[in-house]
């Protein structure tokens, strides 16, 4: 069950990074496309892996491995757009309600997976938990509902793109050593960043952001978020190389439970993280967390 512990640790790191992401795109007003560019550009650091077992696979394997990077960058862009549109916990849980389902669908066609009945049951329970925790409240006014729809649309796009990135990454790890697969997926993200930079409108945004006087807190937060997110990516990627992409993705329910708790704690200090929950929403989130525990139990038997 090594993959399970690694996945839980990775999603804790992602939860911390997501909180930082929300602060970056809201508190420090970094445009989502610029932030997605930064993350993709960091794929260049993967060049340091070349001496440690990177190989040049056949064309098909290389192509699908590289596709994982752009899919990940696109997913990040829409995730940041969803963060900017409204509450952090609602954005990531709507995203998470779609991502495991599409991962399972894409995997069924692209990478045939064979799951035990306990794993299928755990998958279903975890997806139900995500849907429950992200179910919209009826207490929103007209403007609130419009914002929610906009946020839900961005989160849906992000969920589909994340699903594609997970399946492409799983394909890479299934046909190459882990280090090599990880390298080519990150290279795909780096190439996506180059494409973003070549688009005049986005290039202008990036240059404007780079010219802004950098506050030490903003720079420190950016570095911390990328370290946390990078460590989470490595952990999640290694877990994908060990087990089903569908199961790893369904376990994102844990990430959303972490985010709910972190937002509740840190919202007292940072107003952009402060979220108002009705009694019904709190009850739903508690039920979802209980279901997460049930799903984890069935993954361990």
Give me the DSSP letters along 85-134: HS-HHHHHHHHHHHHHHHHHHHHHHHS-----HHHHHHHHHHHHHHHHHH
Instruction: Give pLDDT, residue 225.
Output: 75
Q: Over its length of 301 residues, how does the chain's per-residue pLDDT go in tens digits? A: 788 888 888 888 888 887 777 676 665 566 888 888 988 888 888 898 888 888 988 888 899 999 999 999 998 888 888 877 766 666 666 776 677 778 877 877 776 666 677 777 877 887 787 677 666 555 554 445 566 677 778 888 888 898 899 889 888 888 888 889 889 999 999 999 999 999 999 999 888 877 765 555 566 666 777 788 778 888 888 888 888 777 787 777 777 778 778 877 777 776 666 666 677 777 877 787 788 778 777 766 6
Instruction: Give pLDDT, residue 14.
Output: 83
Distances (CA, A) of 147 to 35, 56, 136, 143: 22, 46, 12, 6
Instruction: Give pLDDT, residue 143.
Output: 47
- CB 127: neighbour CB atoms within 10 A? 24
141 CB-contact burial (10 Å; exposed 0-12 / middle 13-18 / buried 19+): exposed
Asked if residues 251 and 122 have their Cβ atoms less than 8 Å apart, the reply is: no
> Left, alpha or beta for 53 (phi > 0: left; psi -120 to 50: alpha)?
left
Question: Where are the domains positioned within the chain?
Answer: 2-300
Q: Which residue has the tokens 């975890």?
A: 126
The torsion angle over the Cα atoms of residues 55, 6, 187 and 110, rounded to 10 degrees, is 80
Instruction: Report the C-alpha gap between 68 and 96 in whole angstroms.
Output: 18
Q: Which residue has the tokens 């329970």?
A: 125
Taking the alpha carbons at both ends of the chain, their separation in whole angstroms is 10
CA angle (212 as vertex; 209, 215 as ends), nearest 5? 115
Distances (CA, A) of 181 to 42, 66, 112, 173: 17, 9, 19, 5
DSSP state of 23: I
Give me the numbers of helices (H) and strands (E) for the chain, helices first please: 12, 0
Instruction: Report the C-alpha gap between 180 and 175 in whole angstroms.
Output: 10
Instruction: Give pLDDT, residue 46.
Output: 87
List, in order, residues 6 or more apart from 116 with CB less than 8 Å away.
none
65 closest CA partner among 152, 154, 191, 248: 191
Instruction: Give pLDDT, residue 193.
Output: 94
Per DSSP, helices labelled H in 199-251 are 200-211, 216-242, 245-250
Q: What is this structure's pTM?
A: 0.74
Q: What would you report as the CA-atom Rg of the chain, rounded to the nearest whole angstrom? A: 19
Asked if residues 165 and 95 have their Cβ atoms less than 8 Å apart, the reply is: no
Instruction: Give pLDDT, residue 251.
Output: 78
Instruction: Give pLDDT, residue 146.
Output: 62
């Amino acid at each position: 069950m090594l993959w399970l512990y690694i996945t839980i640790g990775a999603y804790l790191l992602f939860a911390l990074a997501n909180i930082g992401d929300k602060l970056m795109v809201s508190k420090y007003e970094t445009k989502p496309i610029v932030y997605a560019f930064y993350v993709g550009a960091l794929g260049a650091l993967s060049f340091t892996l070349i001496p440690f077992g990177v190989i040049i696979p056949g064309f098909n394997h290389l192509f699908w491995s590289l596709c994982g990077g752009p899919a990940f960058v696109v997913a990040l862009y829409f995730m940041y757009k969803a963060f900017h549109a409204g509450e952090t916990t609602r954005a990531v849980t709507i995203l998470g309600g779609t991502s495991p389902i599409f991962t399972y669908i894409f995997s069924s066609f692209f990478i045939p997976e064979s799951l035990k009945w306990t794993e299928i049951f755990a998958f279903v329970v975890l997806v139900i938990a995500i849907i429950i925790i992200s179910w919209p409240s009826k207490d929103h006014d007209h403007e609130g509902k419009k914002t929610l729809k906009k946020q839900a649309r961005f989160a849906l796009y992000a969920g589909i793109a994340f699903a594609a990135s997970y399946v492409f990454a799983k394909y890479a790890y299934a046909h190459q050593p882990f280090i090599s697969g990880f390298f080519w997926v990150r290279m795909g993200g780096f190439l996506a960043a180059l494409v973003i930079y070549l688009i005049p409108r986005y290039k202008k945004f990036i240059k404007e952001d780079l010219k802004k006087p950098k506050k030490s807190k903003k720079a420190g937060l950016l570095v911390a978020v990328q370290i946390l997110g990078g460590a989470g990516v490595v952990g999640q990627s290694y877990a994908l190389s060990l087990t089903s992409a569908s199961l790893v993705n369904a376990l994102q329910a844990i990430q959303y439970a972490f985010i709910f708790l972190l937002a509740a704690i840190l919202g007292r200090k940072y107003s952009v993280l402060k979220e108002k929950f009705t009694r019904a929403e709190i009850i739903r989130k508690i039920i979802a967390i209980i279901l997460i525990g049930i799903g984890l139990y069935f993954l361990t038997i």
